[in-house]
Amino acid sequence: MTPRNDFLRGARIDPKPITGRETVPELIDNAFLAYNAGRLGEACRLFTERMLADDVTVGMSLTGAMTPAGLGMSTIIPLLEAGFVDWIVSTGANLYHDAHFGLGLSMHRGSPFVDDVELREQGVVRIYDIFFDYEVLLSTDAYIREVSAGAEFQRPMSTAEYHYLLGGYILEREKALGIKRKSLLGVAHDCAVPIYTSSPGDSSIGMNVAEQALAGGQLRFDPSADVNETSAIVFRAKVTGGKSGVLIVGGGSPKNFVLQTEPQIQEVLGISEKGHDYYLQITDARPDTGGLSGATPAEAVSWGKVDPDQLPGTVVCYLDNTVALPLLTAYALARRKPRRLKRLYQLRDEMMRQLTEEYLAAKADRDSRAEAATGGRSA
């Protein structure tokens, strides 16, 4: 039985009165003491004090309409530039809407309490309380098709390679328009942060690439390359003596794609590993309805996604991402110096060689043991 005093070791709840002069970190450390505010405080400290150590490779998953709300510019770009996020798995929609800003197109604050039939008649598109002209979609579609028709795109490639190439073009468009670092895709290109999309057909980017396929275009997204490249990133982090941390913003397919890197290494490739070292999720989903099932830290241990010895290094905040992520970013930037950029995109070939060699060695060992067990007889 746990000794009584062990339950009372936590810091006393005795906050100072708020004055209005507090910085974000001071406010969080002083007043975010319990319930989901307490979890956000724990998340800020986990991210800043442990996950941002120099030897930790941080992967982020991104779902929900975050970039239309401006979070690409306000939070995610600063995290990339500070070296606080090393690789990303995002919905295609977040990247598509991110491109609007890099192309000089505008989105506006609106209201969720409007007549959508009237908006349709006026050619205005609504994402909850975000409004934009329907022409924004058409202009972005045309740009994506124009760029994707280029000779360097006419082949199968991972989504990271596609986003890197597209980001380079958007970066040049920003320079031509005289705007600076508005696009997450452009900054990721500049920082060599690989961005993957777990469901590339499930967005307007994928829709436009599909249209070009009908016209004979040769661009194809290679999901196997995505699975292996993301696993190679995590494997490299571990075998070089470092750690792997995941920052999960929302849920959905990107969440699982970030986490499945460890089962891919262990279960499928047969390489000895133990799971991610740090796990931080911000979500409004619940496990008992199936929306978060299989991906709470404890459940993820049973899949091999999280190292069971590292469960103290896991936090789940049941909060709105548009509230929690800016606070987490402000806390981290105030408390932690920028890290050297890992530029993982430029290491893709090296990481894939490393993973392939380890896989082939593990496979040869399994085959040898299986042959010995059967006395050399074929199954």
Q: 100 with 136: CB under 8 angstroms? A: yes
The single-letter DSSP state of residue 310 is G
Compute the distance between CA of residue 322 and CA of residue 205 in angstroms, rounded to an integer: 24
Contact 229, 348 (CB under 8 A): yes
| Beta-carbon-side half-sphere exposure of residue 45 (alpha carbons within 13 Å) | 13
Letter for the amino acid at 58? V
* CA neighbours closer than 13 Å in the CB half-sphere of residue 348: 20
Q: Is 193 helix (H, G, I), strand (E, B) or coil?
A: coil
Q: Could you tell me which of 306, 285, 80, 92 has the C-alpha nearest to residue 198?
A: 92
Question: What are the tokens at 182?
Answer: 């508005």
* Dihedral in degrees, nearest 10, Cα atoms 72, 75, 79, 82: 110
The two three-digit tokens of residue 60, written as one number? 């982020």
Amino acid identity of 52?
L
The C-alpha R_g of the chain, in whole angstroms, comes to 23
d(CA 43, CA 48): 8
- Which residue in 348, 341, 57 sits closest to 190, CA to CA? 341
In this structure, how many other beta carbons lie within 10 angstroms of the beta carbon of residue 183? 27
Catalytic option among 238, 255, 305, 342: 305
Is 363 considered catalytic here? no
Which segments of 3-69 does DSSP mark as H helices, in order? 24-31, 35-46
Greatest C-alpha distance within the chain: 78
Q: Which amino acid is at 316?
A: V
**Enzyme catalytic residues:** 305
